[in-house]
Structure 1
Amino acid sequence: MSDNQREALRQKALTEIALLDTPPEREFDVLAKLAQRILGTGMSSITLIAPERQWFKARCGPLAPETARAQAFCPIVAETEAPLTVADARLDPRFAESPFVTGAPNIRYYAGVPVRVRRPDGDPVTVGTLCVLDERPREPTPTDLEVLEELASVAEALIESRAVALRAAEAAEEHRLTVVRLERERRQFKQAERMADMGSYRYDIAKQSTAWSDGVFAIHELPVSGGVPNGEIMRYFPEPDRKAFNDAVMRTLDTGEPFEMDADFVTAKGNARRVRCSCEIELAQGKPVALIGLIQDITERHDLEQRLRHQARTDDLTQLANRAEFHRVLDARLREARSADGDVAVLLIDLDGFKGVNDVLGHAAGDAVLRRVADRLRASCNNGCLPARLGGDEFAVVMSADLDRVGLDRRVRRLLHDLEIVADGQGQISRVTGTIGIAWSSAAAHDRDVLLRQADAALYAAKRTRKGTAQTYQGGADHRQAG
């Protein structure tokens, strides 16, 4: 891809997130302050790179709201899509004549990392940076970029959440509840300041004793005055992470290779946390004398990732799996079936009479019917089944692998009965039924697209025969299953 193409893609992504020239938002301001505070610099910013200018969504220190793009630092990070550190800009030929170096804000030190957004139809695109700056020269350290990359990932989550909320707000009424929940979750990002909750430790190999910074005591919810609980440190890690952490430490002692890992953690007060631990060897005259490292409370970020992962896989209205999650699970089941020479059954379900509910009783009644359908699908599915909403009034079920054709027939008959729903309101009544198309993976050579086409063919054959019934696809013909 050429530079011009990358630039066009960046500007398109920047337009899509609709963040440029928006009012200040505390969540972004907190991230900029955290970067400045943790790295001890005079300035910091979250910068978006427009065609002719760089604009600061958040800034700390003597920075203007926006500047020209030419001869600035952040555009280089965006264009190269790579971190950038400059120890002394006066000695760097790229920046020595920059007006931002020769005049206010008199930048000498710079460290910045890309801030990316994921577009619906492609790979992540760099739209800006998270950076720190200072009026004094400074030798960069690996920690500078590590901290910035951690905080940049939170900025990316904030931007993604904001973009999702914006798209949802512009959608139809059926997405209204999604918008409300996303906005509530967006406000929860105000707790991002906890990203600075970290501390350092040092384990003296000869003395077999550990020293903690105050931050480590805070994470453990222990008073500093009580000292380090040597001999009991590992008990704060529940299994299996306790063993994983122990094994990682032993490997570092044996090989000298550092490690970083995330682990579950329980504080002295019994509070469950998620922490990130790093560890490396400290050498003296070429010999290992200690293990040193950091521990950071990443509970909020971990929980956020879990919620976003759940949101990405779940239909908001019905809380069933969405189309993407249905495809993911179906693909996994098909791989298992191929390996074990087994079979997988898929049910495609279309609601009959649903449009009449919306037309006669309104969309609120239609939403209530969809939720009732979801409840009945959940009730009819055991642990091996996955019910999903594909969109509109279309549903699907991946059946459990241990269900044979006789068992499936009984399940389908019961499901047809459960899908007979009567909706009423304002003196009017509408009746909804479900028509089901069934296909088995063995007849589709365990190919997902073929399997779904066969189930769809069986579904519409059933509709042509009689709505509210089910048919199974068999070798090019549709076989009546249940009525």
Structure 2
Amino acid sequence: MVDPQREALRQTALMELALLDTPPEREFDALAKLAQRMAGTSMSSITLVDAKRQWFKARCGPLAAATARAQAFCPVVFETERPLIVADARLDHRFVASPFVIGRPHIRYYAGVPIRVRRADGDMVTIGTLCVLDERARAESDDDLEILKELACVAEALIEARAAALRAAECADEHLVTVERLERERRQFKQAERMADMGSYRYDIEKQATTWSDGVFTIHELPVIGGVPTQDIMNHFPEPDRSKFIDAVMRTLDTGEPFEMEANFITAKGNARRVRCSCEIELAKGRPIALIGLIQDVTEQHDLEERLRHQARTDDLTQLANRAEFHRVLDARLREIHAQERDVVVLLIDLDGFKGVNDALGHAAGDAVLRRVADRLRAACDAPCLPARLGGDEFAVLVPASLGREKVDRLVRRLLHDLEIVANGQGHIARVTGTIGIAWSDPVAHDRDVLLRQADAALYAAKRRRKGTAQTYHAAIEQSQAS
């Protein structure tokens, strides 16, 4: 139940700020973007709640400029003046029927904290929220709320500094208060920079001079006392990222469109980093006067993503590409060669006698054989080729047809020789060979499924003739199998 007296106090405090329906401001936009990045969500907002609606002072993601207050998330924080976290809105009776859950933006996860202002009597009154949202449900995280609480302090400092500036315009006696609040804002932004491994920069176009926040010096591993280097700033970006960054800056100057990109980066101490950079134009009276932006060290996040991507694409036992990665690369190669009227070759490999290894020597010995097969595939296949384990005792090699039939035949002969493996132990000996089905892409077989089916048909034709041999697909093979 909403307390009418408290609601009236909140609305009065909000109106006094004169913040509703004001144009976007870079500081608020940067703070919302920082909250989104630190929480890893698809949406974020700085929300002000009046009597009938919620209006977004800053927002990231697919959020409207303003929405009705009823059945929304932020008004709950506004009314209770307490943090709120919803792991899955579909399971929360308060929001399951909300149009923002059922329809766009399809909110599932929500975390929000109050943004408060101090009244003249010292009472802290909630006037809005800082929140992050996502279309996917997530586990409840105290870390998200802690991050938001810290950033809400910055938002409150921004709002208070803004209010102080308004009062200073009306009364020169409040000038000192304004300066103090701006200093508090600066200190808290420095704290936010440290928390997010982030810094801001500004390049004055007329003066051709650059200024950095402390966070940028930290990322560069340079002392603040030394000032911004006057030369070779771009040399911290190795090629080709240096050229990409410069080209992006030139496009921004030409078109006025901002950009954001990730790039490799070398610090002044020679340490490799991964950074995310943004850039936009600062205008004064409609004229470009500066380039402004952020730079953030995302090395740990990037490395984690690369490890996860490698794990998703790699067979754990053999460290070869897995089936999904083989299919992804094959599809990409087929698209390329279709445009260039070229071919690829698929070698489909099945191990003969592998079951006997598991039966006679155990699964550990079988795993060792699979790793030996992977080693021999890697040794035989040069960089343009992609060896992969499709599953069980089935392997494949993707070969560019540019090698020519003679080299492909030589590769097949080597693989047939290298895949003759003898495993022994516990008084038992087991022999493994590899049978290979070969399919060349053509105008008909520029489809992955068709090409793999042809390689499979050739493989089983070879097995019927004699295991441990190879067979190239031709139309008569499928005709004979059909009959």
Q: Please tell me the TM-score bracket, short chain as reference.
A: 0.5 to 0.7
Query: Distance between the aligned counterparts of 2:91 and 2:330, measured in 1?
Result: 47
Number of the residue aligned with 1:460:
460
1:222 is paired with a residue whose SS is: coil
Deviation, 1:46, is 6.3
Query: Distance between the aligned counterparts of 2:280 and 2:423, measured in 1?
Result: 65
Compared CA separation, residues 354 and 231, structure 1 to 2 (3 A): same
Query: Distance between the aligned counterparts of 2:207 and 2:82, measured in 1?
Result: 42
Compared CA separation, residues 70 and 140, structure 1 to 2 (3 A): farther
Number of the residue aligned with 1:81:
106
Structure 2 unpaired stretches of 5+: 1-36, 47-76, 117-123, 160-192
Read off the aligned partner of 1:112 and give its amino acid letter.
C
Equivalent pair of 1:384/1:401 in contact (CA under 8 Å): no
Equivalent pair of 2:83/2:114 in contact (CA under 8 Å): no
Number of the residue aligned with 1:145:
none
**RMSD of Structure 2 on Structure 1 (CA):** 4.0
Read off the aligned partner of 1:236 and give its amino acid letter.
H
Query: Distance between the aligned counterparts of 2:334 and 2:278, measured in 1?
Result: 39
Query: Distance between the aligned counterparts of 1:246 and 1:282, measured in 2?
Result: 18
Structure 1 unpaired stretches of 5+: 1-29, 54-68, 91-104, 117-124, 142-192
Number of the residue aligned with 1:403:
403
Number of the residue aligned with 1:217:
217
Read off the aligned partner of 1:48 and give its amino acid letter.
A
Percent sequence identity is: 67
Number of the residue aligned with 2:374:
374
Equivalent pair of 1:85/1:110 in contact (CA under 8 Å): no
What TM-score do the two structures reach when normalised by structure 2? 0.64
Read off the aligned partner of 2:304 and give its amino acid letter.
L
Equivalent pair of 1:472/1:478 in contact (CA under 8 Å): no
Number of the residue aligned with 1:197:
197
Read off the aligned partner of 1:70 and give its amino acid letter.
R
Deviations 1:284-342 (A, max 9, x none): 33333322211111111222222222222211111111111211222233334333433
Q: How does 1:32-431 map to 2 (within 5 A)?
A: 47-49=86-88, 52-53=91-92, 69-70=93-94, 76=100, 80-81=105-106, 108-115=127-134, 125-127=136-138, 132=148, 196-431=196-431
Query: Distance between the aligned counterparts of 2:308 and 2:331, measured in 1?
Result: 22
Compared CA separation, residues 358 and 239, structure 1 to 2 (3 A): same
1:378 is paired with a residue whose SS is: helix
Query: Distance between the aligned counterparts of 1:84 and 1:382, measured in 2?
Result: 50
Compared CA separation, residues 45 and 466, structure 1 to 2 (3 A): farther
Query: Distance between the aligned counterparts of 1:338 and 1:75, measured in 2?
Result: 46
Deviation, 1:354, is 0.8
Deviations 1:37-92 (A, max 9, x none): xx9x9987764116544xxxxxxxxxxxxxxx5169999569633598999899xx
Number of the residue aligned with 2:9:
none
2:445 is the counterpart of 1:445: yes
Deviation, 1:211, is 1.7
Equivalent pair of 1:358/1:366 in contact (CA under 8 Å): yes
Equivalent pair of 2:343/2:400 in contact (CA under 8 Å): no
Equivalent pair of 1:346/1:398 in contact (CA under 8 Å): yes
Read off the aligned partner of 1:306 and give its amino acid letter.
E
Equivalent pair of 1:109/1:138 in contact (CA under 8 Å): no
Which moved further from structure 2: 350-359 or 300-309? 300-309
2:434 is paired with a residue whose SS is: strand
What TM-score do the two structures reach when normalised by structure 1? 0.64
Equivalent pair of 2:264/2:274 in contact (CA under 8 Å): yes
Aligned length: 357
Q: Between Structure 1 and Structure 2, whose CA radius of gyration is higher?
A: 2
Read off the aligned partner of 1:401 and give its amino acid letter.
A
Read off the aligned partner of 2:87 and give its amino acid letter.
L
Read off the aligned partner of 2:419 and give its amino acid letter.
L
Query: Distance between the aligned counterparts of 1:283 and 1:350, measured in 2?
Result: 65
Query: Distance between the aligned counterparts of 1:322 and 1:256, measured in 2?
Result: 44
Query: Distance between the aligned counterparts of 1:85 and 1:454, measured in 2?
Result: 53
Deviations 1:240-263 (A, max 9, x none): 322332233333333333222222
